[in-house]
């Protein structure tokens, strides 16, 4: 398992304007162990940095297309110093940009994407309420990339809550596009999905997350424990997406 990498800012970052993000976003060149990388950089809490790192690791282990996360250091005080969350530039526009161009193809491609249900299950598992059009990139055909998981994994709460429902935007889309069959398919697929999640070694994830480096070791441990508990609660959590809850016990 490839651990979360560290990146060091060394050139003046450029702030991106016109975004809907709660946090300010910059694009910057940074030095990593793999060489120079162009990253999207955000000033966030340590809880949100941890959420980005864990979501990137978990998605990668499940074979989902996700931008690689970095812990960004700012020793030159280019952005005020401290630690930032960073993600690799995926080189693809968000679906929001496609929708702003009134391109109907992106919705057709998303609704037929073979990983759509799996990503919706992933968002349910990590309690991600923020899979809006700006956080899903599309580069044409099956070139999809998941980005921005700062608000997942209970990062805005004092402690993880394994049974807390979240707004699952993709699950709502599936219900709208496929009717009651959509939530039923998600429910059917949730068992195999949970089995794959349980094959992920939480100790390896904890080490790879670099959580100890940013002072979030205990929070990381509690988050991973809550994720394990949440897997057993998935059927009940998914049931709320259907119109006939009795069919989805």
DSSP 16: P
Give phi and psi for 180, each to the nearest 5: -65, -20
Q: With 90 as the cut, is the pLDDT of residue 235 above it?
A: yes
Mean predicted confidence (pLDDT) in 67-88? 95
Cα torsion angle, 215, 154, 181, 100, sign = negative
- Radius of gyration of the CA atoms of the chain, in A: 18
Residue pLDDT, tens place only, 15-67: 987 655 556 899 999 999 999 999 999 999 999 999 999 999 999 999 999 99
- What pLDDT is stored for residue 243 in this prediction? 57
**What is the per-residue pLDDT for 19?**
59
Residues in the chain, overall count: 249
What integer pLDDT is reported at residue 98 of this predicted model?
82
d(CA 7, CA 83): 10
Range of the domain at 190: 5-247
Q: Model-level pTM greater than 0.85?
A: yes
Q: Give the DSSP letter of residue 42.
A: E
Distance in angstroms (rounded) separating the CA atoms of residues 130 and 126: 11
Band the pLDDT of 247: cuts 50, 70, 90.
very low
The pLDDT of residue 12 is above 80: yes
Higher per-residue confidence, 92 vs 61: 61
> Alpha-carbon distance 217 to 221, whole Å?
6
Question: Nearest-CA neighbor of 71 among 222, 215, 221?
Answer: 215
Q: Work out how many domains the chain is built from and give that number.
A: 1
Q: What is the pLDDT of residue 248?
A: 31
Q: What pLDDT does residue 96 have?
A: 84
What is the Cα–Cα distance from 56 to 138, expressed in whole angstroms?
Answer: 18
The per-residue pLDDT of the chain, averaged, comes to 92
Q: What is the pLDDT of residue 62?
A: 98
Q: Are 27 and 39 in contact (CB under 8 A)?
A: yes
> Under a CB-based contact definition with an 8 Å cutoff, are residues 21 and 134 in contact?
yes
Paired tokens of 20: 């809907």
Q: Cα(6)–Cα(222) distance, rounded to whole angstroms?
A: 23
């Amino acid at each position: 398992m490839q651990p979360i990498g560290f990146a060091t800012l060394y050139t003046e970052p450029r702030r991106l304007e016109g975004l809907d993000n709660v946090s300010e976003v910059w694009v910057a060149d940074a030095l990593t162990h793999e060489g120079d990388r162009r990253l999207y950089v955000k000033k966030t809490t340590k809880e949100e940095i941890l959420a980005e790192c864990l979501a990137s690791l978990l998605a990668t282990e499940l074979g989902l297309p996700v931008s690689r996360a970095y812990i960004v250091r700012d020793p030159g005080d280019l952005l005020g110093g401290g630690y930032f969350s960073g993600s690799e530039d995926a080189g693809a526009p968000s679906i929001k940009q496609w929708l702003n161009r009134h391109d109907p193809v992106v919705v057709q491609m998303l609704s037929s994407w073979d990983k759509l249900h799996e990503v919706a299950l992933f968002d349910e598992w990590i309690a991600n309420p923020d899979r809006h059009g700006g956080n899903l990139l599309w580069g044409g055909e099956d070139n999809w990339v998941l980005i921005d998981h700062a608000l997942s994994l209970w990062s805005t709460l004092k402690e993880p809550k394994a049974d807390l429902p979240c707004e699952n935007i993709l699950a709502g889309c599936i219900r709208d596009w496929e009717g009651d069959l959509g939530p039923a398919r998600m429910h059917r697929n949730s068992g195999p999905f949970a089995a794959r999640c349980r094959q992920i070694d939480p100790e390896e994830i904890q080490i790879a997350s670099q959580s100890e480096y940013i002072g979030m070791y205990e929070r990381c441990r509690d988050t991973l424990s809550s994720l394990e508990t949440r897997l057993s609660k998935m059927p009940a959590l998914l049931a709320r997406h259907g119109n006939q809850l009795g069919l989805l016990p």
